[in-house]
Structure 1
Amino acid sequence: MDVSLQKQNKVAGANILFFVQIFATMGFAVLYSSLVLYATKQLGFSENSANAIMGIFGAFNYGLHLFGGYLGGRFLSNRNLFVIGMVLQVIGCYLLSSANIGGLYWGLALFLTGSGLNVTCINMMLTQRFTPTDPRRESAFLWNYAGMNLGFFMGFTVAGYFQLSLDYHSLFLFATLGNIIAIVLTAIFWRHLRDLDTPLSHRERPQRLQRLAIGGVILLLLLPLVKVMLTHSEVSSYFVLGLGAIVFIALCTITARHHESAERARMVAYLILTLGSLVFWSLYQLAPMGLMLFAENNLNLQLFGWHIAPQWIQDINTLVIVLGGPLLALLFKRMRGRGINIDIPSQFAAALLFMGGGMLVLPIGIKLAASNGLVDFQWIFWSYLLQSIGELLLSPIGYAMIGRLAPQQYQGLLMGSWMMVSGIASILAGYLSQAMPTAQGTTPLLTNPAYSHLFMLLAVASVVTALVLALLIPFLRRLIGSTPTA
């Protein structure tokens, strides 16, 4: 094939993936924002049980991201696994629409396996379109990130519309629509999205077919395993936390035994920053759990004459990320131009400070609640705004710091560990949500004091962590090897 034509096909593939990403995200956005409400209002789960299931859902979703990259690159191809994952999500949403307990667990198992495995696949398909030095790579991923957030916005918005009438059957059928469109787009542009440079692509056809069969068997074994883990959420939570502790101890051991002193110092910085980020993500992931139930039961959802669905509140985060990303990049550029040092440790500390502020405004809102106990909508708005600014400060730099802090031979391990933090945080967010008062059979006036107390404790924990990291900034800079700009 002509070189110029190959380049055109690669660029075309990147453009196609932007639209695929939009529709592939919609179904996940629906489930992410509606699962707790569906479990409590439609299936009769207690709030604690629903929060526990959501915690496991988040933990396994992030955990399967790691496995998806391995399975796609070596057994099924990223393109094949992406489509298989979309098909599993379609079947899963259909089972969820049946509104029964059996449909819930098998539906979640199918959906979670599909979404968990294929997120990495779409990122791998995109990164293969560019060489490491291609300047278009960064732009392509920015567009991909924008497409993902557009999918979240659409999913949250439609989920809220059906939430107002509690029409979960239609909601989950709608969730299949985005997945089906993603499958159709991938099929139409199949040739443009083929794997370009993976271990599987370098194998001969007989070996590829053999690996494809092995990959299929792995998927069939994975589905009942995920279903069992979802069914026994308490045991699964302990398993995830235990695994996280083992991984952390292993990383500490590897760091202590690493011979190169400069690299060892940067790995120590990574471990400290990762612990700080665990606090941030544990509070951030309250959004689809405890904060969702707080908004549903204790918030005045009337705004300018409109009744606001709880899922719509999460659109605040989406809009801040899409609109605030470029603005924050411009602000940092100007600050650095004026000699103000903005580096990894300072961004982590600032992110935790904003998260603390996001938690702190909620007790203030509760203190100023109406006579019936309902909190004014503006307070949840300010909370999500501050949390989203914190996400902008921490999330992009978190992935970027792996290349800066990890020795070459450990980059995959540390990237996997960084993603695992989000899974552990999901479990911890589930526990925090279970510590919140139960709204079933009570009133906002009765539950507001307990909410206020817990939100205040979370705000203090985040701010204290931010202050500790701020005090450690000079030490962390020495570990990383950076120096303040004069």
Structure 2
Amino acid sequence: MKAPSAGTLMGHPKGLFLLFGTEMWERFGYYGMRALLVLYLVAAVEDGGFGWTNGDALRLYGTFTMAVYLTPLIGGWLADNFIGQRKAIILGGIFFSLGYFTLGIPKTMIPGFELEVFYFGLVLICTGNGLFKANVSSLVGDLYHEGDHRRDGAFTIFYMGINLGAFLSPLIVGYLGEQVNWHYGFIAAGCGMLIGLALQLTLANKYLGEIGVVPSAKLNQQNKANMASTALTKEEKDRTKVILVMSIFSIIFWVGFEQAGGLFNIYASSFTDRDLFGFEVPASWFQSLNAMFIILFAPVVASIWVGMGKKEPTSPVKFALAMVFLSLGFFVMVWATMVQGGDTSVKVSMLFLVFAYLFHTLGELCLSPIGLSMVSKLAPLKFTSLLMGAWFLCTAIANKLAGVVGSFVGEGEAQVENALAIFASVGIAGLVTGGIVFLSANKLVDWMHGAEGDTHRDLEDEFNEELSVTATHEGMTEEPIK
């Protein structure tokens, strides 16, 4: 589909910045709501919450975040085959907004139906997520012709929009929810989504033209027909094995990483001294650390990989390094619980969580190339969507398991000891998984059959490509595979 001639900004089509703003505000809404969800559920009824146990809240959180990774598979299929990306984005934005505003309905307005309305709001959010997520990023790639050297830089700009939204939302939405009223926080999340939706409705025709209007399946029917008759070669089978192995191992990483919105959130609220010069830092603000660290360190990590040249670690070695960083983050939290000495009345320094999030972000920056470029590099063309689905399925399973693992923190005096056991167990599991992958790295690289490290470009192009992958957030692909 031909991109519109609407001029450029900073050397890129103006449509890129429209998509940047759309995604930034959508992520603003989602990450703000996510920062509040568990805290809202466990808050006492007299404080406006539901008064759930930690276990019940974390199990629901796990189910919800699992759906976040499964619904885009359905939404992407609908967009590709029936409604097109543009309509999917609009519909997704509408469902998102309705979901946030549903959570924002005061309980006094729905006596006796508070829980049913809450669940309905979550269903609306999951529906909106399925239609919206990934469809915006597919339009970014369509703004550029094949081989356009600006493409990688465009994804870098786009993903910084995601991280900017993820950074700002806990600060604003979290503050309103925790310090003013839970429902005001959810309403603020809905307002953020409405801004993104308004940008699409008013500016998309001008800056995106016909991109994303026609379902991509109709544009690629001939390619699909050609692929259907092609049998997999031995190399393709080996590369498929790499994708499946790494997808399964990634479950351990995401089980640990996704404690951020769950168990870490509860720990921040209940066991962390959040006093800063007389101001109590909202627990939800810690959710901004991951995005802030990505913005700060993604260019650094990308520069390191590019600067290493031929000595740059292979994807399996980067994965093993990611697991080490994950474990370090959990061992920091083990230290925190040891400082408490099993006493739930003792609150620890905020620095423990800050360093835990720092190590986990460094791990995410190392892991990004695994899920984000591995499938596009290794997957046989006819199975790219299926194998990307396998990656998302494993991530979805990990999110559910993260909620289950976190739920073992329990209640009362045993919470600190239980948290110590959880943090230590995940940390050890991360080291063991990293060790297994590291020892298997050479075999996995052999199965890749030269798929990585065999191209040579100038340093600027290499840096832009590396940053476009490294700067991504939450393990999503830099663009859906066509």
TM-score band by shorter chain is 0.7 to 0.9
Question: Closer, same or farther in 2 for the Cα pair 1:195/1:125, shift >3 Å?
Answer: farther
Q: In the alignment, which of 315, 325, 332 is matched to residue 354 of structure 1?
A: 325
> What amino acid is aligned across from residue 125 of structure 2 in structure 1?
F
1:419 pairs with 2:392: yes
Matches within 5 A, 1:249-328: 260-328=233-301
Q: Which sits farther off after the overlay, 349-358 or 399-408?
A: 399-408
Question: Closer, same or farther in 2 for the Cα pair 1:460/1:186, shift >3 Å?
Answer: same
Question: Closer, same or farther in 2 for the Cα pair 1:266/1:43, shift >3 Å?
Answer: same
Q: What is the number of residues matched between the two proteins?
A: 425
Q: Distance in 2 between matches of 1:483 and 1:161?
A: 46
1:13 pairs with 2:25: no
Q: Distance in 2 between matches of 1:202 and 1:35?
A: 37
Deviations 1:280-316 (A, max 9, x none): 0111111111121122111112234431111111211
Q: CA contact under 8 A between 1:78 and 1:195: conserved in structure 2?
A: no
Question: Relative contact order (alpha carbons < 8 A, sep ≥ 6): 1 or 2 greater?
Answer: 2
Aligned partner of 1:159 in structure 2 is 173
Q: CA contact under 8 A between 1:289 and 1:430: conserved in structure 2?
A: yes
The structural deviation recorded for 1:6 is 6.5
Aligned partner of 1:56 in structure 2 is 63
Question: Closer, same or farther in 2 for the Cα pair 1:259/1:88, shift >3 Å?
Answer: closer
The structural deviation recorded for 1:88 is 1.3
Q: Distance in 1 between matches of 2:437 and 2:150?
A: 35
> What amino acid is aligned across from residue 409 of structure 2 in structure 1?
M
Q: CA contact under 8 A between 2:177 and 2:184: conserved in structure 1?
A: no
Q: Which sits farther off after the overlay, 34-43 or 186-195?
A: 186-195
Aligned partner of 1:87 in structure 2 is 94
Aligned partner of 2:226 in structure 1 is none
The structural deviation recorded for 1:422 is 1.5
Structure 1: runs of 5+ lacking an equivalent: 205-257
Q: In the alignment, which of 429, 437, 446 is matched to residue 478 of structure 1?
A: 446
> What amino acid is aligned across from residue 421 of structure 2 in structure 1?
H
The structural deviation recorded for 1:57 is 1.1
Q: Distance in 1 between matches of 2:53 and 2:311?
A: 50
Aligned partner of 2:27 in structure 1 is 25
> What amino acid is aligned across from residue 319 of structure 2 in structure 1?
F
The structural deviation recorded for 1:5 is 2.8
Question: Closer, same or farther in 2 for the Cα pair 1:437/1:408, shift >3 Å?
Answer: same
Aligned partner of 1:213 in structure 2 is none
The structural deviation recorded for 1:49 is 1.8
The structural deviation recorded for 1:259 is 5.2
Aligned partner of 1:115 in structure 2 is 129
Aligned partner of 1:143 in structure 2 is 157
SS for the counterpart of 1:333 is: helix
Q: Distance in 1 between matches of 2:418 and 2:396?
A: 27
> What amino acid is aligned across from residue 448 of structure 2 in structure 1?
I
Question: Closer, same or farther in 2 for the Cα pair 1:12/1:259, shift >3 Å?
Answer: closer
Aligned partner of 1:212 in structure 2 is none
Q: Distance in 2 between matches of 1:413 and 1:62?
A: 14
Q: Distance in 1 between matches of 2:4 and 2:356?
A: 50
Question: Closer, same or farther in 2 for the Cα pair 1:475/1:171, shift >3 Å?
Answer: same
Q: CA contact under 8 A between 2:268 and 2:283: conserved in structure 1?
A: yes
Aligned partner of 2:46 in structure 1 is none
Matches within 5 A, 1:171-186: 171-186=185-200
Aligned partner of 1:363 in structure 2 is 334
Q: Distance in 2 between matches of 1:141 and 1:155?
A: 21
Aligned partner of 1:463 in structure 2 is 431
Q: Distance in 2 between matches of 1:168 and 1:91?
A: 16
Which structure features the higher share of helix residues? 1
Q: Distance in 1 between matches of 2:235 and 2:217?
A: 36
Task: Give the alignment's Cα RMSD to 1 decimal.
Answer: 2.5
Aligned partner of 2:469 in structure 1 is none
The structural deviation recorded for 1:484 is 11
SS for the counterpart of 2:409 is: coil
Q: CA contact under 8 A between 2:178 and 2:282: conserved in structure 1?
A: yes
Q: CA contact under 8 A between 2:84 and 2:212: conserved in structure 1?
A: no
Q: CA contact under 8 A between 2:273 and 2:347: conserved in structure 1?
A: yes
The structural deviation recorded for 1:202 is 9.1
Q: Distance in 2 between matches of 1:415 and 1:160?
A: 33
> What amino acid is aligned across from residue 24 of structure 1 in structure 2?
E
SS for the counterpart of 2:273 is: coil
Q: Distance in 2 between matches of 1:18 and 1:53?
A: 31
Q: CA contact under 8 A between 1:369 and 1:375: conserved in structure 2?
A: yes
Aligned partner of 2:472 in structure 1 is none
Structure 2: runs of 5+ lacking an equivalent: 44-48, 108-113, 220-230, 454-482
Q: Distance in 2 between matches of 1:477 and 1:334?
A: 21
Share of identical aligned residues, percent?
A: 26
The structural deviation recorded for 1:354 is 0.5
Q: In the alignment, which of 203, 207, 211 is matched to residue 196 of structure 1?
A: 211
Q: Distance in 2 between matches of 1:87 and 1:3?
A: 26
